[in-house]
Copies of this chain bind each other. A is one copy, B any other.
């Protein structure tokens, strides 16, 4: 049977390596440091049971009916109030509910990118963003980073020398995959540069509230005086990912374009799920829940770091993230993490090889380890096994 003639944009797309690995590790018995999958044992199951009934009782048929594309107004109001605590001033009219922050990444590409445009990103950066943007046949340019975030001078240099730069994608807080948090000074310098160049910024911020040490810093959006920052938030890491509840907060004109994208892509969100999240925020103490999640994940991060120190070969380097879900491990340059994964999987341990997170460079000597999905015992056991595997390579 002859194949169809697909659109040109499909040529560059391949199945998400991470999601394919996640499919594999969904099997029982696998110790997985691969996906940044929240530990389901922490989900507030009883609260969800309670609010699901309340939604049906209080909202009735409206909770299962068509509704506006923008989403449930009370939830947008609650999001506005939550963001105000981070320093983001907004109105309900600046907020659109999304199927997770991923949909916001996709929409930002859809409304901004023409073929051949360049997207700037951190080096390394979130794979799912690269996949979403690739659909629009753009190119990528990695901006050099250090432990404090994007290096403003490097950004400035790139903006001065390369034409066609259309936007920059960033994860300033506890980045996927490195766990890095940009410093306040860097945030200010960064905004100064993008303001000068009138460059739209996507601030992808799903980990903002998963802070374990230090202090929360103002999101870029809180420092945005020119309406250039498209802020993406999510309930996936602080409540649960299965309800697919995220949002975008942006300047009205940008938001209008996001609404157009929403209408043509799937008309509107899930009205029941929007109310579930809204009622949870109304009737339960999400801050107390986040506190519990933080405490658990912080402990696991500490255990993982301890195990890296005791079990991994000495000539590796790892980040010491202050929040989020990932530790990034750099191996000696001659070690290919994809080969390490093949051996690790034989011992029922999984992680994501770092090579996937670079759009341009061929950097294969890194691993992304998630410390949130497994409990202490699993982390200790898996890291020991992984250490053994690494020692056969190094």
Contact = CB atoms under 8 A, between A and B. Distances in A.
Given A37-B65, A41-B61, A136-B7, A106 B241 contact: no
A1 B227 contact: yes
A102 B265 contact: yes
A287 interface: no
**Closest 4 A-B residue pairs measured CB to CB?**
A40-B61, A242-B271, A64-B240, A64-B242
Interface in A249-295: 251, 253-254, 256-257, 259-261, 263-273, 276
Contacts of A240: 64-65
Contacts of A394: none
B52 A53 contact: yes
Contact-residue bracket for chain A: 35 or more
Given A1-B227, A56-B52, A106 B266 contact: yes
Given A99-B270, A128-B264, 16 more contacts: A1-B251, A4-B200, A6-B257, A7-B110, A7-B112, A7-B114, A9-B114, A13-B264, A15-B260, A16-B69, A19-B69, A22-B66, A63-B242, A66-B236, A98-B266, A99-B266
Interface stretch (A42-50, A85-93, A155-163, A179-187): A42-50
Contact of A103 (B60, B265, B271): B265
A146 interface: no
A256 B62 CA distance: 35
Nearest to A225: B1
A225 to B, nearest CB: 10
Q: How many copies does the complex hold?
A: 2
Contacts of A310: none
Contact of A264 (B7, B45, B67, B131): B131
Most buried by B among A241, A244, A260, A261: A244
A14 B260 contact: yes
Contacts of A236: 66
A135 interface: yes
Contacts of A16: 69, 263-264
A45 to B, nearest CB: 6
A196 interface: no
A198 B268 CA distance: 34
A10 B61 CA distance: 35
Nearest to A57: B49
B15 A241 contact: no
A242 B131 CA distance: 28
A357 to B, nearest CB: 16
Contacts of A102: 265-267
Contacts of A128: 263-264, 267
B253 A4 contact: yes
Contact of A56 (B45, B66, B100, B114): B45
20 contacts: A2-B198, A3-B253, A9-B110, A10-B111, A15-B260, A19-B267, A22-B68, A37-B65, A40-B60, A40-B65, A52-B56, A63-B242, A99-B266, A102-B265, A102-B266, A106-B266, A110-B135, A128-B263, A128-B267, A131-B264
